[in-house]
Amino acid sequence: MGKKSKRIKKDKIIVKYTRNERNNIINNIKTKLIELGIGIYIEVQKLFIIMNIFIENGIDYINTINLIDCNKKLIVNLKNNKKYEIYVNIKELEL
């Protein structure tokens, strides 16, 4: 019946990737895409340009890219927050 104490909210601290960390992670992803033979498609070449912008500026990019020629889709998640992982996931395209 007494007064409830108010919870103190902590400020959320966003720990961002450094430029070198982004560069290392993105270069690993690019080499894996090229090794898999997906790097030849125009959509993936555009993705490489977006990745270079992400390395320079750290601007988040989340998208799904359909590669109709090889029946695959790329799920791209480029977030500049160490709480989340930077990845490109390859899945079969559902028709």
CA dihedral 68, 72, 73, 78 (to 10 degrees): -120
Closest CA to 55 of 14, 21, 16, 15: 21
| Residue 7 falls inside a structural domain | no
| Residue 38 falls inside a structural domain | yes
| Residue 11 falls inside a structural domain | no
Residue 57: pLDDT band with limits 50, 70, 90: very high
- Spatial separation of the C-alpha atoms in residues 4 and 6, rounded to whole Å: 6
Residue 10: per-residue pLDDT: 79
The fraction of the chain above a pLDDT of 70, given in percent, is: 94
Q: Where are the beta strands (DSSP E) in 1-95?
A: 61-67, 72-78, 87-92
CA atoms within 13 A on the CB side of 54: 28
Residue 61: per-residue pLDDT: 95
What is the value of pTM for the model shown? Answer: 0.83
* Tally of domains in the chain: 1
Domain that holds residue 80: 19-92
